[in-house]
Chain A
Amino acid sequence: DAMVIQNPRYQVTQFGKPVTLSCSQTLNHNVMYWYQQKSSQAPKLLFHYYDKDFNNEADTPDNFQSRRPNTSFCFLDIRSPGLGDAAMYLCATSRDLAGNEQYFGPGTRLTVT
C-alpha cells in the first residue's frame, strides 16, 4: 500500500547530540512537510518542501534543518537538541499545495535526556 513511513518510531538522544529523523513516501507526492507536536497540542508546521524548494516557517528555530535528497525521502535534522525539543515529529505529504489533503506518517517520538 502507498504510504508515509517514518523511522525510527521512537528516538532517544542526549542533550546537545545531533539527531536525524527520516521520512519516506510511496505516494509520489510533490510536497513533504515536517510538524512538531507536543503533548495535548495541535501539530505545528516546521517547514515543507515543494519538490526541491524549501519553505521554512518564520518561527522555526535555526536548530531545525531539513534535507530532501529525492522525491521519496525527507530528513529532519536537529543540530543540538534541547529538553524543549522532546516531542512527536510528524511527516506528511500532499500531491500539491492549496486545498490538497495531507497524508501523515505514524510519527517519531523524540526523547531528550
Chain B
Amino acid sequence: AQSVTQLDSHVSVSEGTPVLLRCNYSSSYSPSLFWYVQHPNKGLQLLLKYTSAATLVKGINGFEAEFKKSETSFHLTKPSAHMSDAAEYFCVVSAPQGGKLIFGQGTELSVKP
C-alpha cells in the first residue's frame, strides 16, 4: 500500500533563506511522486513530478526535489525563499491503479520578511 508522511506540519523561514520541506513515502511499487502547492482559497498547482527518470527533479519557481530510494524520501528544497512562496505544500504519491493520489498531510510554509 502507498502512504506519504510529511514530517513537518508548519515550517517558517526568513525571506532569502533556504527552504526544506520533508516528505517520506511508502510504496510497494516504483512510485510516481509529486509536490503540489496551494495558495489560500486557490486550487493546487503542480510544482514538480518524479517518474523514475532523473532522481533530481527541477520544478517551477526555483523548487527542486531529490528522490532517494534508500531513504524513501522526496524532500522539496529551494535555495532562497520569497514572500510569494508562503502557501500549503502537499507531497503526493500516485497509486499504480486507478489514478488515485495519496496526499500527505500538508506543510504550511510561512516566509518572514
A: residues with CB less than 8 A from B are 4, 6, 31, 33, 40-43, 45, 48, 50, 55, 88, 90, 92, 94, 96-107, 109
- In the complex the two chains form, what is the Cα distance from A90 to B41 in whole Å? 11
Are A101 and B34 closer than 8 Å at their CB atoms? yes
Chain A nearest CB, measured from B55 CB (Å):
17
Interface majority SS (helix, strand, loop, mixed), chain B? loop
Contact assessment for B97 and A98 in the assembled complex, using a CB-CB cutoff below 8 Å: yes
Task: Flag if A107 contacts B46 (CB, 8 Å).
Answer: no
Q: Which residues of B contact A (CB under 8 A)?
A: 32, 34, 36, 41-46, 49, 51, 90, 94-101, 103-106
Residue pairs across A and B with Cβ atoms less than 8 A apart, 20 shown, are A4-B43, A6-B43, A42-B103, A42-B104, A42-B106, A43-B44, A43-B103, A48-B99, A50-B99, A88-B41, A94-B99, A97-B97, A97-B99, A98-B97, A99-B94, A99-B96, A101-B34, A105-B43, A106-B42, A109-B41
